Chain A
């Protein structure tokens, strides 16, 4: 009895704490966006790409961090969103950026449903292999249907209209950057609400103990497939942002390497936390830009060494380790 009252109070405190953390998170994103704008005014394309990849990593976090499904094929959803947005503009002449974003969302969600339905049939290693097979299948398919996707040359001819008829997507990329920041903020807030909802709690429960969730009367597979669709929608938004900002969709967006890199970013930041996903993406992408510009030869070696180091010394990722450290310090001096 007392414990339930206690946990109610705790939940109340926790809810207030999370609201504060939501606001802090938004503030941090906005401040980081402004700092990025001021520091690299000539390199907004890179920053916009970081935003798009951040959406992909957030989407991956939903299935890997919250539901415990390991996948090496999440770029399939990202690429599906990118191609959906790109094809709408290049083949149907619908250039409204909001409609293109919506198309990305729908395309991503649809491929999320497809991938989820296939992936969730297996567990463990076969599941991982299925995800790899899926990303290769998507890649080959996009390569093959070159009349629709442009094949290995990439899909060109995307020309998004100005946002609200006023702000053009120009060479400087300011519009795309602001558009991307706004998109990321909306997605971030919605996901914060989602992971705190009973549905989000249930998916965390599935990661910890699937059997028990089933015994409680919930169906893990229906939760997982819904989560996959949501994740696909988020990844699709990222893809659409990428298509709109670069005005081209390369075949690379559907590659295994892209999927593996997204996973590396997620783990670097810390799984099971939206802040972790954002941290990991930012650090990885800036690091990649810096190192591969300085010495492209050693880029892969560095990533590999970084991964090994994270697994050995910071298994919770950068954000998770830092959060633990501060939590410990707070506990130490009450």
Chain B
């Protein structure tokens, strides 16, 4: 029972962190149809900035989170403007190469600037320690991650379903040409969505630093996981991404707890099975 409970909490926290990072990828992929392999790199940049601000500058955790999100977006703007804009609508292979090139560059530069060691982000006081639930105590940080995931999911749902910006985003997802003919400035929508996606990635990178440790190969190591989540959930779908994150988080965490010697074997096996059964993802729509 104890094991089941701790697996469940860890799986939930891990799934939520995955969700916060990869939902941005899912939205941009559904919206701009860009296979963005560099998404993990932005999460990593966020983690590095937060670590620098909180550990080396000694500022608080909340300052670190805000700095990470803002600075990562500022770093991403020129990249979007000069590199991504050229590959909108390009063949997949081109997009894969360009974004993998960006990832390699970011890894190399991070390795050079920050060194190859693992970086930690010191947590704020209230987030350390464990919360007592009466019958069992769980780490506050895990709870914090879960709450963050829920807040992001609700916020995004509200923004996309209930605001005029969301209407424009949905219109551009469905038919970009028609939306722009009707006066939606799709370029602006693209830029804003990209900024939000990058910001969320950075946020997830910071919040999830305990579960996905920040180091130079972060971008490559977890890139696969994020892509898997998006394609299993179906690009552009928030409920799909949430379901995929929770499902894959549960499979991965359970596999690690019960059969650690098999590593990620079951994770990838599950991915292959799911994609073979749902080639368009859990919540994917027919074209």
Binding site for B on A (CB under 8 A): 64, 70, 72, 118, 121-126, 128-130, 132-134, 136-137, 140-141, 143-144, 256-257, 260, 263-264, 267, 271, 297-308, 310-312, 315
Least distance between A119 CB and chain B CB atoms (Å) = 10
A residues in contact with B265, CB < 8 Å: 137, 140-141, 144
A residues in contact with B100, CB < 8 Å: 260, 264, 304, 307
B residues in contact with A299, CB < 8 Å: 108
**CA distance in complex: A299, B280 (Å):** 37
A304 B275 Cβ-Cβ under 8 A = no
B105 A308 Cβ-Cβ under 8 A = yes
Kindly supply a per-residue 1/0 record for chain B positions 39-50, scoring 1 wherever the CB is within 8 Å of any chain A CB and 0 otherwise.
Answer: 000000000000
A122 B103 Cβ-Cβ under 8 A = no
Least distance between B34 CB and chain A CB atoms (Å) = 10
Option from B83, B108, B228, B262 in Cβ contact (under 8 Å) with A133: B228
B107 A300 Cβ-Cβ under 8 A = yes
13 example contacts (A-B, Cβ-Cβ < 8 A) are as follows A70-B93, A122-B279, A128-B35, A133-B271, A133-B275, A136-B224, A297-B111, A298-B108, A302-B108, A305-B105, A308-B83, A310-B97, A311-B101
Rank and list the top 10 A-B pairs by shortest CB-CB distance, nearest first.
A301-B108, A304-B104, A307-B101, A304-B105, A300-B108, A308-B101, A129-B231, A140-B265, A122-B279, A133-B268
Asked if B86 CB lies within 8 Å of chain A CBs, one says: yes
New A-B contacts (5) at CB < 8 Å, excluding given A134-B268, A137-B272, A267-B97: A128-B227, A136-B224, A140-B264, A304-B103, A307-B98
A residues in contact with B123, CB < 8 Å: none
B272 A144 Cβ-Cβ under 8 A = no
B98 A311 Cβ-Cβ under 8 A = yes
Option from A126, A136, A143, A306 in Cβ contact (under 8 Å) with B275: A126
Binding site for A on B (CB under 8 A): 29, 35, 83, 86-87, 92-94, 96-98, 100-109, 111-112, 220, 224, 227-228, 230-232, 235, 261-265, 268-269, 271-272, 275-276, 279-281
Option from B86, B268, B276 in Cβ contact (under 8 Å) with A121: B276
Least distance between B28 CB and chain A CB atoms (Å) = 12
Option from B87, B93, B220 in Cβ contact (under 8 Å) with A64: B93
A70 B262 Cβ-Cβ under 8 A = no
Least distance between A307 CB and chain B CB atoms (Å) = 3
**CA distance in complex: A44, B275 (Å):** 43
A125 B112 Cβ-Cβ under 8 A = no
